[in-house]
């Protein structure tokens, strides 16, 4: 096969495909003279709410802020416990700590790497205030189960949906079964702006108002303040996101199509492939395989011009210095989280990746796998 370079992200391709619309949207903001809390931000919020099927959307500065401002708005803070997982991006736990609460980690279902809902109840104490399921890699956590446990124990549910905008469960939408859902618009995400951005969506108008106040120095009215922060989604980003949101379902379909190609091409290998739950719309923000020789495969692919990255190679509770004086608790064993951290490898996946590029990645993985199997059988014969 001829040599190629297959990058991990398609940001620039995506920009080129939408250049006319994006350039026009950016120019409109520049000419408006209104860059923060201006018309484009006001336009984008209801568009996002409509896309998510929620009453409200509040744009903020990042996915991390979306989470901790949601906690703050719900009164979650010092002395409270929040249950989540450890094999997520660091910000999930960080947001809990910024709010002043205790992060409580439970293990994941090894098939999906999402929270194992059978383990949640054992982690609940009188201090528990909320559950934060993460829809890791683009596949929804089992929200019906999460919501039932939350209802039984009178807990809040805040979805960390930085990775699955546009995904769905078998009989639920994301954002439907929780108090709030938080997303990130950093460019690596499936709906990314050209910098930092995030949003909280909710069906609770009081909570939305509270976050609007918190994100703007505690102010809902000019010159009238209570304690708050500065965490607003700029109009430039909002304008770009308005353009991109219209493309998101199509992009997610393309991700799903490329994932099918990976599934078919890698089916006979020794790799563990992603599991899509029946009836779920997994949108493959990341296409993550597992192998015992993750580092070997990553090095091999890189040597062939293919960028493969790890999400996430160190579980939060295994990071050096954990928990850095923060309040944290581990409930039961986190063996599946730790095992996934040691084995995961994300293959190039974005709407703009071509089938030829996917084929190139598959061919190299198959060659690596066969060579590995050959080595193993040779060793066994000796
Ligand atoms: C699961 C998860 N939660 C939270 C975040 C935080 O988002 P941001 O980087 O926009 O703060 C991210 C992404 O970066 C993420 O992947």
Q: Write out pLDDT tens, residues 131-181.
A: 999 999 999 999 999 999 999 999 999 999 999 999 999 999 999 999 999
Question: How large is the average pLDDT for residues 187-191?
Answer: 96
Going from the Cα of 32 to the center of ligand 1, the distance in angstroms, rounded, reads: 30
Residue 44's pLDDT is 98
pLDDT tens per residue across span 6-18: 999 999 999 999 9
Q: Closest Cα to residue 248, out of 179, 174, 310?
A: 174
Going from the Cα of 198 to the center of ligand 1, the distance in angstroms, rounded, reads: 9
Rg (CA), the chain: 21
Going from the Cα of 173 to the center of ligand 1, the distance in angstroms, rounded, reads: 20
Question: How large is the average pLDDT for residues 245-263?
Answer: 98
Going from the Cα of 160 to the center of ligand 1, the distance in angstroms, rounded, reads: 8
DSSP β-bridge partners for residue 56: 202
Atom of ligand 1 nearest to the CA of 197: 10
Residue 109's pLDDT is 98
In whole angstroms, give the CA distance from residue 56 to residue 82: 24
For residue 290, what is the enclosing H or E element? strand 287-290
In whole angstroms, give the CA distance from residue 360 to residue 194: 29
Query: Residue 379: which pLDDT band, with cuts at 50, 70 and 90?
Result: low
Residue 376's pLDDT is 82
Nearest CA to ligand 1 atom 9: 63
In whole angstroms, give the CA distance from residue 366 to residue 153: 48
In whole angstroms, give the CA distance from residue 89 to residue 310: 11
Question: How large is the average pLDDT for residues 315-323?
Answer: 98
Which of the listed residues 60, 113, 132, 186 should we mutate to test ligand 1's pocket, taking the one with most ligand atoms within 8 A of CB? 186
Atom of ligand 1 nearest to the CA of 198: 10
Atom of ligand 1 nearest to the CA of 189: 13
Are the C-beta atoms of 355 and 258 separated by less than 8 Å? yes
pLDDT tens per residue across span 204-216: 999 999 999 999 9
| Residue 381 in this model has a pLDDT that exceeds 80 | no
Going from the Cα of 269 to the center of ligand 1, the distance in angstroms, rounded, reads: 32
Are the C-beta atoms of 184 and 195 separated by less than 8 Å? no
φ/ψ of 296, rounded to 5, equals: -65, -45
Going from the Cα of 322 to the center of ligand 1, the distance in angstroms, rounded, reads: 19
In DSSP notation, 52-87 reads: HT-SEEEEES-HHHHHHHHHHHTT--TT-EEEEESS
Residue 378's pLDDT is 73
Atom of ligand 1 nearest to the CA of 64: 11
Are the C-beta atoms of 255 and 274 separated by less than 8 Å? no
The model scores a pTM over 0.75: yes
**Strand 56-60 with 128-131, pairing:** unpaired
Q: How does the average pLDDT of the chain come out, rounded? A: 97
Going from the Cα of 162 to the center of ligand 1, the distance in angstroms, rounded, reads: 5
CA dihedral 120, 99, 190, 17 (to 10 degrees): 170
pLDDT tens per residue across span 201-245: 999 999 999 999 999 999 999 999 999 999 999 999 999 999 999
Residue 110's pLDDT is 98
pLDDT tens per residue across span 355-367: 999 999 999 999 9
pLDDT tens per residue across span 47-73: 999 999 999 999 999 999 999 999 999
Atom of ligand 1 nearest to the CA of 135: 1
Q: Which distant-in-sequence residues (6+ apart) come within 8 Å of 70 by Cβ?
A: 158, 179, 180, 182, 200, 202, 207, 211
Which of the listed residues 9, 82, 88, 89 should we mutate to test ligand 1's pocket, taking the one with most ligand atoms within 8 A of CB? 89
Q: What percent of the chain has pLDDT over 70?
A: 99
Nearest CA to ligand 1 atom 8: 63
Going from the Cα of 31 to the center of ligand 1, the distance in angstroms, rounded, reads: 31
Residue 1's pLDDT is 76
| Residue 380 in this model has a pLDDT that exceeds 60 | no
- Around ligand 1, the residues with Cβ closer than 6 Å are 62-64, 88-89, 91-92, 134, 160, 162-163, 184, 186, 196, 198
| Residue 371 in this model has a pLDDT that exceeds 70 | yes
Atom of ligand 1 nearest to the CA of 88: 1
Q: Closest Cα to residue 109, out of 118, 99, 98?
A: 118
Residue 328's pLDDT is 98
DSSP H helices, the chain, are 11-17, 19-32, 39-52, 63-73, 91-98, 120-123, 143-153, 205-215, 235-245, 248-266, 294-303, 335-343, 355-381
Which of the listed residues 184, 241, 315 should we mutate to test ligand 1's pocket, taking the one with most ligand atoms within 8 A of CB? 184
Q: How many helices (H) and strands (E) does the chain have?
A: 13, 10
| Residue 342 in this model has a pLDDT that exceeds 80 | yes
In whole angstroms, give the CA distance from residue 192 to residue 311: 18
């Amino acid at each position: 096969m001829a040599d190629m370079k297959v990058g991990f992200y398609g940001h620039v391709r995506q920009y080129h495909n939408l250049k006319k619309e994006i350039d026009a949207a950016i120019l409109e903001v520049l000419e408006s003279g209104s860059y923060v809390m201006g018309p484009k931000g006001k336009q984008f919020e209801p568009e996002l709410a409509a896309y998510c099927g929620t009453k409200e959307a509040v744009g903020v500065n990042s996915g991390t802020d979306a989470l901790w401002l949601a906690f703050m708005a719900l009164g979650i803070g010092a002395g409270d416990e929040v249950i989540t997982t450890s094999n997520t991006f660091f910000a999930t736990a960080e947001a809990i700590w910024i709010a002043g609460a205790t992060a409580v980690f439970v293990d994941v279902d090894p098939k999906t790497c999402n929270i194992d809902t059978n383990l949640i109840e054992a982690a609940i104490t009188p201090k528990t205030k909320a559950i934060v399921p993460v829809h890791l890699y683009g596949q929804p956590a089992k929200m019906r189960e999460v919501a039932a446990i939350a209802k039984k124990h009178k807990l809040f549910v805040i979805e960390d949906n930085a990775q699955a905008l546009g995904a769905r469960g078998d009989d639920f939408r994301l954002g439907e079964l929780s108090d709030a859902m938080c997303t990130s618009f950093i460019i690596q995400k499936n709906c990314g702006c050209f910098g930092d951005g995030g949003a909280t969506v909710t069906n609770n108008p009081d909570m939305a108002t509270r976050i609007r106040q918190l994100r703007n120095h505690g102010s809902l009215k000019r010159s009238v303040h209570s304690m708050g922060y500065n965490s607003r989604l700029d109009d430039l980003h909002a304008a770009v996101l308005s353009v991109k949101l219209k493309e998101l379902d199509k992009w997610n379909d393309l991700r799903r199509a490329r994932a099918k190609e990976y599934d078919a091409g890698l089916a006979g290998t020794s790799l563990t492939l992603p599991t899509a739950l029946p009836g779920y719309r997994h949108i493959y923000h990341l296409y993550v395989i597992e192998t015992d020789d993750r580092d070997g495969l990553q090095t091999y692919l890189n040597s062939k011009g293919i960028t493969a990255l790890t999400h996430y190679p160190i579980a939060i509770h295994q990071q050096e210095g954990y928990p850095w004086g923060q309040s944290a608790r581990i409930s039961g064993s986190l063996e599946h989280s730790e095992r996934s951290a040691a084995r995961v490898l994300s293959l190039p996946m974005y709407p703009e990746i071509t089938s030829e590029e996917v084929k190139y990645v598959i061919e190299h993985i198959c060659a690596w796998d066969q060579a590995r199997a050959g080595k193993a059988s040779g060793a066994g014969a000796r």
